[in-house]
Chain A
Amino acid sequence: MHGRRAFVRSVGAGLALAGGAWMAPRLCRAAGLPQGAVDAAVLEALAGKRALIKRSYRPPNYETPVEAFDSILTANDRFFVRWHLARISPVDANQWRLAVGGDAIERPLQLTLDQLKRQFEPAELVAVCQCAGNRRGLSDPHVPGVQWGHGAMGNARWKGARLKDVLAKAGPKGSALEVAFDGADEPVLERTPDFIKSIPLWKAQDENTLIAYEMNGEPLPHWNGFPARIVVPGWTATYWVKQVISIDVLSAPQGGFWMTTAYRIPKRKFPLIDRFISQETAETTPITEMVVNSLITNLADGQRFPKGSAIVIRGIAWDGGYGIHSVEVSTDDGRSWQTAELASDPGRYSFVPWQHAFVPPGAGNYAVLAKATNRQGATQTFELIFNPAGYHNNVVQRIQIQAV
């Protein structure tokens, strides 16, 4: 990995001033993260990327600074990076092949990148890609794992072939139950479980599930899965397999550590609708769709504003694909709530930008909260729904600002 990164060193103890208000990068103020995670965090740029917040070097895990979410699409060079296995060789697009097989397929086939692009009608959609463990670092009590703050997510316009079209060409058998994906990434040790993920056949055949070869109008960055990755709109990023090289249609549940042990949540603890029945046990289920959530994108804890003049509070909201119904904002620590103005509908899988104008009536501290509700009526929680792996953290954010 050496030599591939540009490094942004931390300097001095002074805070940079931007736009008159103090705007140090949020990683330095990420209240709630374990101290070790705060100490280990640096801003650093992987090749082809701008500076991201480094959580770990190898495998590379880098999160997007909150400031980047102040626009609806997350730029490719600011999109978060998350890998489980440390051997991530760049893929040569000319050599790349996608094998479609498995025991529940009639006609196994192999595709070149050119064939994937030309033989199947391209589909495009905007969708949030969010790590299941986003905000794990804020779990109270803390739980082991990558100590993410708010930025293990991004929103992009994905273009690719519909997975259902590719499957139709290969012919799933009547016994087909799940569709499993493997990427070109490899573990360091042979005995380490390969990262293989499956989804139920019904989700694989959803018209929105893609084999994406473009991201925001460009080829995918290496770090985000060049030349192709699976896009499973609404579902957490664990299923969005990068550098995908094989798709297997299976008549039995996919095994392996990454399905049977990792990425599971206790059953009946979260208000979710999508189920992954073939993988459920008595106690746990694989994580499926994202919970409804929101983020304030232009305020920092402790930021100062002049009393009596308007502050436009901006943010984003998203959910598992049901669509955002409303966002409410409180500027008095939750005692009263006002409805924020939503941007015109960017699609049900996208970040939905919102804004709310607020005039601090006098000097003092104001606790700003934002709470999204989706079209199913699900909303965010004020208290963490604890689970041992720190998934689905949608606790209402609280940012304290000051009017002077």
Chain B
Amino acid sequence: MRALDAAIATVLLAGSCGGALADEDVRLKEGVGRDVVQGNCSVCHSADYIQMNSPFMKRAAWEASVNKMIKVMGAPIRPEDVPIIVEYLTKNYGVE
């Protein structure tokens, strides 16, 4: 892997694209369960996956997504954390 190239000088982004962070650790919205979500989901993927998939998923869709991560992708999420994660995602990144 080559070292990082020089930063791109020309910037053309508009303010409507705001909310971006320079860091990979995309800041999830404050809320109950945020740390549980960050701690579990960030093992395998950056948190922008969550933001990117919002806000159009209902509770059942987030629940299905979390269950897919456990059953298919092998995420070691404790059973008692599942409702906390689903609640946080539905409330902060979902539609009721």
Contacts and interface: CB of A to CB of B under 8 A. Distances in A.
Q: Tell whether A and B belong to one assembly.
A: yes
Interface of A: 1-16, 18, 23-25, 27-28, 34-43, 45, 47-48, 50-51, 54-59, 86, 90, 141-142, 144-147, 187-193, 222, 257, 261
Chain B interface size, under 10 / 10 to 19 / 20 to 34 / 35 or more: 35 or more
Contact of B17 (A6, A16, A41, A190): A41
A232 B6 CA distance: 34
Contacts of A35: 54-55
Nearest to A189: B74
A90 B2 CA distance: 10
Given A34-B56, A86-B44, A188-B44, A39 B51 contact: yes
B55 A56 contact: no
B16 A28 contact: yes
21 contacts: A1-B24, A3-B4, A10-B14, A13-B15, A13-B16, A16-B12, A18-B12, A23-B12, A24-B12, A24-B13, A25-B12, A25-B13, A37-B53, A39-B20, A43-B12, A47-B4, A56-B46, A57-B24, A144-B53, A144-B57, A261-B72
Given A34-B54, A39-B17, A190-B74, 8 more contacts: A10-B11, A25-B14, A48-B5, A56-B46, A58-B45, A58-B46, A147-B52, A147-B53
Given A39-B51, A257-B72, A8 B44 contact: no
Given A6-B6, A47-B3, A188 B43 contact: yes
A47 B18 contact: no
Contacts of B53: 34, 36-37, 144-145, 147
Given A9-B11, A41-B17, A144 B65 contact: yes
B45 A40 contact: no
Contact of A189 (B13, B51, B73): B73
Interface SS of chain B: helix, strand, loop or mixed? loop
B43 A47 contact: no
Lowest 10 CB-CB distances: which A-B pairs, in order? A191-B74, A13-B15, A36-B54, A10-B13, A42-B20, A57-B46, A142-B56, A6-B7, A57-B24, A58-B46
Contact of A58 (B4, B24, B50, B55): B24
Nearest to B64: A144
A39 to B, nearest CB: 5
A193 B17 contact: no
Contact of A14 (B8, B14, B17): B14
Contacts of A1: 24
